[in-house]
Amino acid sequence: MRVFVTGATGWVGSAVVKDLLEAGHSVLGLARTDAGLDAVARAGVTAMRGDVTDLDGLRRGAAEADGTVHTAFNHDFSKFAENCENDRRAIAALAEGAGMDKPLLVTSGTAFVRPGALATEDAPLVLTAKEFPRVATEEAANAASQDGARVCLMRLPPTVHGDGDHGFVPRLIEIARAKGVSAYIGEGANRWPAVHRFDAARAYRLALESGMRAAKFHLVGEEGVATRDIAEAIGKGLGLPVVAKTPEEAGEHFGFLAAFFSLDCPCSSAWTRRSLGWTPRESGLLDDLARAPYFAG
Domain contains 272: no
- DSSP codes of every residue in 142-153: HHHHHTT-EEEE
Paired strand residues for 89: none
Amino acid at position 223, single letter:
E
Taking 90 as the threshold, does the pLDDT of residue 193 lie above it? yes
pTM, two decimals, is: 0.95
pLDDT reported for residue 95: 98
What pLDDT sits at residue 114? Answer: 76
Do the Cβ atoms of 40 and 7 come closer than 8 Å?
A: no
- Predicted local distance difference test score (pLDDT) of residue 125: 77
| Rounded-to-integer distance, Cα 94 and Cα 6, Å | 10
**Do 257 and 214 fall into the same domain?**
no
Q: Does residue 181 sit in the same domain as residue 209?
A: no
Same domain, 84 and 189: no
CA distance 151 to 149: 6
Whether 254 and 129 map to the same domain: the answer is no
Please name every residue paired with 195 in a beta bridge, in sequence order, or none if there are none: 160
pLDDT tens digits along 206-259: 999 998 888 999 999 999 999 999 999 999 999 999 999 999 999 999 998 998
pLDDT band, residue 24 (cuts 50/70/90): very high
Q: In the predicted model, is pLDDT for residue 297 greater than 70? A: no
The enclosing domain of 12 has a CATH number of 3.40.50.720
pLDDT for position 202: 98
Q: Assess whether 82 and 212 both reside in one domain.
A: yes
